[in-house]
Amino acid sequence: MEFELQLTKRFHIPNCNKLEVALQHGAYSSLQKLFSMKPEEVVEEVKKSNLKGRGGAAFPTGVKWGFIPKDTEKPIYLCVNADESEPGTFTDRYIMEYDPHLLIEGIICSAYAIKSHTAYIYIRGEYVKQYKILNEALKEARQAGYIGKNILGSGYDLEVWIHRGAGAYICGEETGLIESIEGKKGQPRIKPPFPAVEGLFGCPTIVNNVKTVSHVPWIVEHGGEAFAKIGTKESTGTNIFGVSGHVNQPGYWELPFGMHVLEFLEKYAKGVKGGKLKALIPGGSSTPVLTAKECEDLYLSYESMREHGTFLGTGGMIVMNEHTDMVKALKTLTRFYSEESCGQCTPCREGTSWLDRLLNRILAGEATMKELDLLIEIADNMEGRTICALAAACAMPVRSFVTKFRADFEKYIKPVSIPVHKVAEKILKHEPIA
């Protein structure tokens, strides 16, 4: 498969986090062309590219940029989501670690396109190493004239600031992120208004993921149509796919969209470790799980994942072999989401904890079949009934785990002994026996 690396092309170069080295290998080469274009022309190229957000939502980036009100008198902000708190996801961190100047170049291109003069990078607090590297890269870029007043004599001004999070998963949600930057408790906002109209400090704001922004320099240099020719019709360009779990070679690889998932796992992750494939979480812990059978005709594309009732999400795959206890695997996820719920919405605050407690009962052998069915009922009553998608992020795995791997759950359910006369009474009343 012949293609040009866009995000990881300089990862193998020693010390490429340093400006001097990065410049020798093409860093900031898109800026000359960028400043010869009008901001609206950059937006149009990104629209042509059909670049979709790599943070999980997969919303078309150029369309999102186009939502900013025309001729607004308010300042416009760009927020780069470097929180990357989704379990099973670990690719943004490597861009910040190995090629931070690519991200900074992407921020310049993106901010210029949306007519922003201030950008914030919201990085998760646990990324201490990445923060230090990125902070040093910003200092170098500022000293060299790539950040600040009149960048490269273009007349364009841009300041970039790093804001460190405090370990809250909910701040990966764009409005929770905005609240946190403003110094408030990290809780999502009700939408509308959407951030593009009224976001950071009440001003138009675009929130994009690290990988999304890092694609923009390539699009500026080569054009949106060239980007759209890579991958599939709906899933254009390349992406960094990360793999963890039961594989012989965990890691991350940049590839065009469209490869068969099983081929990808065999060729790059060197196959399933410790047995046959049982299940695959395709795009971070919040995406519905797939069975080995479903993976037989599954491809690395947004459309293929959608056809199978799941999402490509962040591209962080979790592989589980045939010996995996799906109840224990799900319990790990429900514990995470119950602890990370901000508590603002009742269905999420109570629902995530309720699901976690039910799984505790199942694992302890104390649950009945009714409680197993109750997991599905609770999940159905959580999804779509909250301000943000955290409730759905917990509900979708629960629903898919229980429905697709029910036998694993039923092993923990002990038969309930009912006296014969009670059975007869239930039959006469048309009541369920269990």
The answer to whether residue 101 is domain-embedded is yes
Residue 394 sits in a domain whose CATH number is 1.20.1440.230
Supply the pLDDT for residue 414: 81
Same domain, 209 and 256: no
Q: Is the peptide bond before 60 cis (omega within 30 degrees of 0)?
A: no
Cα separation, 288 vs 52, in Å, equals: 20
pLDDT higher than 80, residue 421:
no
φ and ψ at residue 189, rounded to 5 degrees? -100, 155
Are 401 and 359 in contact by the 8 Å Cβ rule? The answer is no
First-last CA distance in the chain: 56
Q: What is the pLDDT of residues 217-239, one digit of tens each?
A: 999 999 999 999 999 999 999 99
Residue 415: pLDDT band (50, 70, 90) is confident
Task: Clarify whether residues 111 and 34 are in a common domain.
Answer: yes
Task: Output the pLDDT for position 122.
Answer: 98
- Whether the CA torsion 313, 316, 322, 327 is positive or negative: it is negative
Domain stop point among 291, 321, 351: 321
Question: In this structure, are 398 and 378 located in the same domain?
Answer: yes
Residue with tokens 């790990």: 332
Decide if pLDDT at 433 tops 60. no
Burial class (CB in 10 A: 0-12, 13-18, 19+), 165: buried
C-alpha 111/C-alpha 159 separation (Å) is 10
CA-closest candidate to residue 45, choices 31, 62, 70, 28: 62
Task: Judge whether 397 lies within some domain.
Answer: yes
State whether 161 and 176 are in the same domain.
yes
Average pLDDT over residues 159-183: 97
Q: Verify that 274 and 127 share a domain, yes or no.
A: no
Say what percent of the chain tops pLDDT 70. Answer: 95
The answer to whether residue 12 is domain-embedded is no
Task: Report whether 372 contacts 353 (CB < 8 A).
Answer: no
Residue 187 lies in a domain: yes
Both tokens of residue 332?
């790990």
CB atoms closer than 10 angstroms to residue 44: 17
User: What's the CA gap between 189 and 170, in Å, rounded?
Assistant: 11
pLDDT at 1 over 80: no
16: which residues sit within 8 A by CB, 6+ positions away?
A: 10, 22, 25, 98, 99, 101
Distance CA(374)–CA(271), nearest Å, equals 36
64 and 197 in a single domain? The answer is: yes
Verify that 223 and 282 share a domain, yes or no: no
Residue 369's alpha-carbon distances to 356, 374, 377, 414, in angstroms, are 16, 9, 13, 9
| Domain interval for residue 377 | 326-410
Residue 54 lies in a domain: yes
| Predicted local distance difference test score (pLDDT) of residue 423 | 53
Claim to verify: residue 104 and residue 153 sit in the same structural domain: yes
Q: Are residues 304 and 165 in the same domain?
A: no
User: Are residues 224 and 347 both part of a single domain?
Assistant: no
pTM recorded for the entire structure:
0.93
In angstroms, the CA 356 to CA 214 distance is: 37
pLDDT, tens digit, 9 for 90 and up, residues 92-132: 999 999 999 999 999 999 999 999 999 999 999 999 999 99
197 φ, ψ (degrees, to nearest 5): -100, -45
Neighbours of 353 (CB within 10 A): 17
Q: How many domains does the chain contain in total?
A: 3
Pairing relation of β-strands 238-245 and 316-321? parallel
Alpha-helix runs per DSSP H in 115-209: 128-143, 174-181
pLDDT bin (cut points 50, 70, 90) of residue 422 is low
